[in-house]
Amino acid sequence: MRDAVIVQAVRTPNGKGRDRGALTGVHPVELLGHTLRELIDRSDVDPSAVDDVIGGCVEQVGEQAKNITRWAWLTAGLPESVPATTVDRQCGSSQQAVHFAAQGVLSGAYEMAVACGVESMSRVPMGSHTPPGTDPFGPGIVQRYPGGLVHPGISAELVAAQWSLSRAEMDAYAATSHQKAAAAYAEGRLRSEIVPVSTTRGTVTADESVRPDATPESLSKLRPAFADPEVSDRFPQIEWSVTAGNSSPLSDGASAVLITTSANAHRLGLKPLARLHSFAAAGADPLLMLTGIIPATEQVLRRAGLELSDIDLFEVSEAFASVVLAWLKETGADTEKVNVNGGAIALGHPVGASGTRLMASLVHSMRGRGARYGLQTMCEAGGLANATILEALY
């Protein structure tokens, strides 16, 4: 029976996604290309044996247009004979790339595939793919959702209201994310997953947004990020408690994983890090677009034949603190098992790269802690979510 295993997983540090961020001087094609080159070098495989490269990217426009995954592979000096494609499932794009790559390996269509992702939010800002005056939804969506859709920040406020999450709870959660990340760096726990990036201003070796001094008190001084009187009229339940401090920052980064069968890994002398055990994708209300991780978690556990208590580690996308807190309330998961090295609030959220960033973090955390099962889930714009369960192979 065929399986799909991860034999290598790497990511760049995440730079701040704004002018003068640590990685803003690096073209996104070069950023992903560097990551792919490092993935292949660390794996010590013949790159011509890769059957396909599947990349995630959200803003596929400008410097990230024209199938960025293909050009990243080629700029890394890797074989022209290997094809590549780029997918968009919003923030879960590169986690979906993992699903597609693993499904190809499981089916026998591939023997070896790469899943990866990239986003340079400093060079290609959010919203770049929707020029002013354009309508990406069409009249049918307007009719189905007559009040209009909202952006993720408003959705995060609606989640906070629906689950009765206070500003203090969200700030406390965000501060903990920074503290976990700072501890992980201090103890060297992130070294195995990070690929340093050379820039004209020096070599970047660490995530730029980690704030070791963040506290609930310091975060409480920040103003609400999305307060809007018109939105208040429409949604009077919103208390305006989402801030830049309890949200993930705009970020630049790339990440990649190499997937094959355990039999092929053995033949090539590779040591599998984890088996891709089960997959799920779910949809939810586009207004509460960030809640899809709740049904996705239920679905992937059911498919795996596992209980929540079987999972040793969780990686849950920290797009906003309210999202993870709502997920915790619904699932009852042990907070000590969630985002043990910090999450996107501290580490950053380069949207197209975040799926394989979380995957790299989960794989290496499982190995470092002797965990058997890990579960990853990503909230995604449009009311979507992916979930994946990994099983250790050591």
Catalytically active residues, by annotation: 91, 349, 379
Element (H, E) at 300: helix 293-304
Is there a contact between 382 and 289 (Cβ–Cβ < 8 Å)?
Answer: yes
Residue/partner pairs of 327-336 with CB below 8 Å, 24 or more apart: 327/293, 327/294, 327/297, 327/377, 329/163, 330/294, 331/294, 331/297, 332/308, 333/308
The tokens describing 240, both together, are 């305006």
Buried b or exposed e, range 10-21, using 16+ CB within 10 angstroms: bbbbbbbbeeeb
Please tell me the distance from the alpha carbon of residue 65 to that of residue 189, in angstroms, as a whole number.
34
**Contacting residues for 10 by C-beta, under 8 A, at least 6 apart:** 35, 38, 39, 42, 193, 194, 195, 255, 256, 257, 360
Amino acid at 296: A
Pairing outcome for strands 274-283 and 313-316: unpaired
Please tell me the distance from the alpha carbon of residue 150 to that of residue 153, in angstroms, as a whole number.
8
State the helix-helix crossing angle for 28-43 and 68-75, rounded to 10 degrees: 60
The CA R_g of the chain, rounded to the nearest whole Å, is 20
Distances from the Cα of 293 to the Cα of 49, 111, 305, 390, angstroms: 35, 30, 18, 16
Specify the 3-state DSSP secondary structure of 169: helix
Please tell me the distance from the alpha carbon of residue 356 to that of residue 325, in angstroms, as a whole number.
22
Dihedral sign for Cα 39, 43, 48, 54, please: negative
